[in-house]
Each structure stands twice: as structure tokens, then as C-alpha cells.
Amino acid sequence: MRTFSFVASALAAASVVFAQNNTYVITVGHNTTSNASLVFQPQEVHAVVGDTVIFNFTLGNHTATQATFAEPCIPAHEANITINGFNSGFRDAGNGTAITILSVPILPQNVNTTMWFYDYNTCGEGGVGVINANDSSTQTLEGFERNAVRLNGTGSLTSSSAASSATSPSGTSGSASSSSTTTGKTSAAHHLVVGSLSVLPLIAAALTL
């Protein structure tokens, strides 16, 4: 009876996790010559603790690099050393032949933090996005994109410094190596949400009791 109760509790916990923990996929690389902002699709994601945001590099050669609102086209850590932001480095997916991902988990300490990000190759043209923007704040995705275009891909740091940082990932790690070629030029969009599988080991352990 006690074992049955434990299994029932584990299954109940599993249903909660499956209902709440999601994976949000941001497809990277489908920008066009007339719309650089399409490099991230979707550009904006709202996630909660336990969720994961995955940058899926599918075309061209791009980065997903965390930034600050005021300096949209340089790595966040170089703009503010207290921020240990995520940085994929350059991911050369070619023409869909070398697809890789960068996973950014939403942890308790950053769930209320707005995470602005950009692609090094297209930032000055509006290739930016945001995770967990504060909808009541004056700092909006549109404003962040305007900042990026206004600064033309530069900030208080030099472009060469930003490039050096972009090729050396820091913070959250992803899979595959980096290199450099050209930017993809086709247009498509993907936004997938799937449940977390983190509770399966707990259920399996319960069934062996």
C-alpha cells in the first residue's frame, strides 16, 4: 500500500511537470535580405522556471549572444561584468547541413530577468530578440531593435572585441563546434513546445520499490 501511494504521488508530480515545463524552440538563420529580424523566429519568448529555450541553428552562420538593452550588439558580460550571459559563438549550419542547438534553461535566479540577445552578423540590421521581456516596462523588443539599428551593430566596445567574444562561447553551453561562412537567405518559422521528461527517472525508481 505504501509503495502504491508513493507511485501515485510520483505520477501526480509527473502530470504537474508535464503541464508546466516546456521547451521553446527559436529557429535561427532564416533572415532575408530585406528583413534581418527574421534571423530569430520567434523573436520573443516568455518562459517560467523549469522551462528551456533552445536556439536551433538551421541555416547560415549566426550567433545567439546575450546582451543588455542599452548595448544590444556586444556580449552582456563585456557590457556588464556582473552578467554571465549565454553565448553560442558562431554556429555554421551551412544550408541546413550542420544543424546545432544551444539550450538556455530558465533557472529560479533568472526567471524574472529579461534576457536580450542578438546575432553578431545581423544585429545592426535588427537581428535581435528577447526572453521574458517585462510587458509593463518601457524597455521593449521594438526599442531594443531600434537601439541595434541606431548603433549599427556597435556599442561602447569595438566591433573586433565583440567578434572575439562571439567566437568564444561563455555561460550556457550548447552542442557542436563553431566556424564561419555566409548568412542564410531563406524565410521560414518554427515555434515548438514540448513537455519536459525530467520526472521519468523518479517514476521508474518508484516502480522498483
Kindly list the structural domains of the chain, giving each domain's residue range(s) and its CATH number in brackets, ordered by start: 26-194 (2.60.40.420)
What is the model's pLDDT at position 155? 60
What is the model's pLDDT at position 111? 86
β-bridge mates for residue 55, sequence order:
26, 102
Q: Which range (9-18, 93-102, 184-193) has the least confidence?
A: 184-193
Q: Which range (94-103, 106-115, 175-184) has the least confidence?
A: 175-184
Contacts 24+ apart (CB under 8 A), 8-11: 10/199, 10/202, 10/203, 10/206, 11/203
Peptide bond into 75 cis (omega under 30): no
Q: What is the pLDDT of residues 103-146, one digit of tens each?
A: 999 999 988 899 999 999 999 999 999 999 999 999 999 999 99
Query: Residue 2 pLDDT more than 60?
Result: no
Query: Residue 3 pLDDT more than 60?
Result: no
What cell was used for 130? 528577447
Taking alpha carbons only, the member of 34, 30, 29, 60 closest to residue 125 is 34
pLDDT-based confidence at residue 154 (cuts at 50, 70, 90):
low
